[in-house]
Amino acid sequence: MQVYADNPPATEVRAVWLTTNYGLDWPTNRTDVDVQKRELIKILDDLKKYNFNTVFFQARTRGEVLYKSVIEPMSSVVASAKPGEESFDPLQFAIEECHKRGLACHAWVVTYPLGGNSHVKGLGQRSVTRKHPTIALQYKREWFLDPSNPKTDDYLISIVNEIVSNYDVDGIHFDYIRYPDNSARFPDRARFNKYGKGKNISDWRRENINRFVTKMYDSVKSIKPWVQVSSAPLGRYRPLNNKHDGWNAYETVLQDAGYWMMSGKHDAIYPMMYYRNDLFYPFADDWMLHGNNRIVAPGLGVYQMTELKWPKEDIVNQMSYARDKKMSGQAYFRTENVLSNLKGILFSINDYYKHPAKLPAMTWLSDTIPDAPHDLTAEKIKGVFQLKWRDDTTKRRTYTVYRTVDDNFDTENSANIIATGIREPMYEFYVEDNDEAYYYFVTSHDAYNNESVICTAAFFYHSETVK
C-alpha cells in the first residue's frame, strides 16, 4: 500500500467534524464572544493552511442549537453578548469565516437524541420534551425524539428548514439518524402494535427512519436544491460474508443508509469507520457498492490514537486505501485531534494534502457547465499579487485559480491549483519581487460544484516593474 501519495487528486473531499458539544473542539472559552471568535478563526486558518476544504460545524447538539432559532434554545457553550452588542450567531460566523478561506461549511445536526435528565431539565420550558411531549420518549435515563411519530419528522424538518432558509450553508449533515443501541426495550411498542401492520419491529423501525430521510431530503431540495444532504452512519453498514460482524448500522440501530443513497435521498455519506483492519477495509468496499455514484468518504477515527492507542500508521493506511479505491475523499473525527498533531498525524496529512483540492460535482442534481470567467488581469502592489477576473452571472459561484510554468493547462493536475473555493472574482497572495513569470488561469464552479472550462490563460511576471 502506498504510504505517501505523490500525486494527490485535484478533486477530493477533505473534511473535519468540528464538535461543539461540550465545547470539545470549540469553544474552549464560554464567557467572551471575542475570544470565541478568535478561537474559531485560528481553527479555520489551520484547516486552510493544511488544505482541508470542508467543515462539518455542529449547529445542533442535543435539543439546543448554535444559531439564532425560534424553535430551540441557544447552546450554553455560546458566550453572551456584551451590553449593547448584537447576540452572537456561531453558525453565521462559521459560514462567513469558512467562505473567506475557501472552505465549505455544512451544518451538522444531531437528529434524535435529546440528552439525559439533567440536561433536559436544565433547558426548562424551552426543551422539546416540555413543548412537544408527545414526540419525546425516555429510554435508559436518556431522552429521544420518537422516530415512529410523523410529528417528529415535522419537528426536525422545521429545524432543517430554518437552517437552510436562513443560512448560506453548503450542506446539511446528520448524525444519530438511528435508534439507540440495544433498543429492544425502546418504548415504541404501543405505536408498533397500532401501526406495524404485520411487519417485524426492526423493519418497521427502519421504515420510520427512511420516511423521515425522504421527507427531509425533498424539503431541503425544495428550498435550495444545491445544498448537499449527507449523514454519518455507523461505519459498518451490514454484516458481511454471512457472519455477524458485531455493531452495524442496519441491524444494531436500524439505519439503512445504503438505501438512502440508492434511492436518491442522500447526496453523500461519511460513515464513521472508526475501526481497523478487517473491520475497516471490507466495509469501505461495501459502502462503495451502495454509493450510487454519489459522494462516499470514510470518516477516520483519529481520536482512536488516544482512546485505543492506535499507531498513526492505521490512519495513514486508511487514507491511502480511500485514494486507491477512488473513494470521494476523507473525513476526520475530530478537529482538535487532527490540529493538535496527535502522534504526528498532521504531518502525514500535510504530505497527502500537498495542494488544494476541488470539491466533487453533484452531477445527479445538475450537470450544466457554467460559463468560464473572462478578462483576467494581474497587478502587483507592495508584494501583493492581485488577480481579477469577470463573471457576468448573478448566481452562486466559486472559483479555482491555477498556475503553470508552461502552456499545459491541466485542471486535473493538483500541482497547478493555487486556491479553490474562492467566493469573489479576485484573489490576492504574496509573491517575491523577481523576474519569475507564470501562466495563470481561472475556472468557475456553480453551486453544484460543476466546473467550467478555463478562462483565457494569461502570462504574468511577478516583478512590479516588468510587465
138 to 112, 190, 209, 445: CA distances (angstroms): 12, 14, 18, 46
The mean pLDDT value for 340-354 works out to 97
The mean pLDDT value for 149-161 works out to 98
Q: Are 239 and 232 in contact (CB under 8 A)?
A: no
List, in sequence order, every beta strand (DSSP E) within 288-391: 295-296, 299-301, 329-333, 374-381, 384-390
- CATH homologous superfamily of domain 13-352? Glycosidases (3.20.20.80)
CA dist 288 and 295 (Å) reads 9
3-class secondary structure, 311: coil
What band does 466 get if pLDDT is binned at 50, 70 and 90? low
Does residue 4 carry a pLDDT above 70?
Answer: no
Q: Where are the domains of the chain?
A: 13-352, 374-461
- Mean pLDDT, all residues of the chain: 96
Q: Are 449 and 358 in contact (CB under 8 A)?
A: yes
Does domain 374-461 match CATH 2.60.40.10? yes
CA dist 223 and 245 (Å) reads 40
Tell me whether the CATH fold assigned to 13-352 matches the one assigned to 374-461. Answer: no
The pTM of the full predicted model, rounded to 2 decimals, is 0.97
Q: Are 258 and 187 in contact (CB under 8 A)?
A: no
Q: Spell out a b/e string for 391-412, using b for 16 or more CB atoms within 10 Å of the CB, else e.
A: beeeeebbbbbbbbeeeebebe
The mean pLDDT value for 58-86 works out to 96
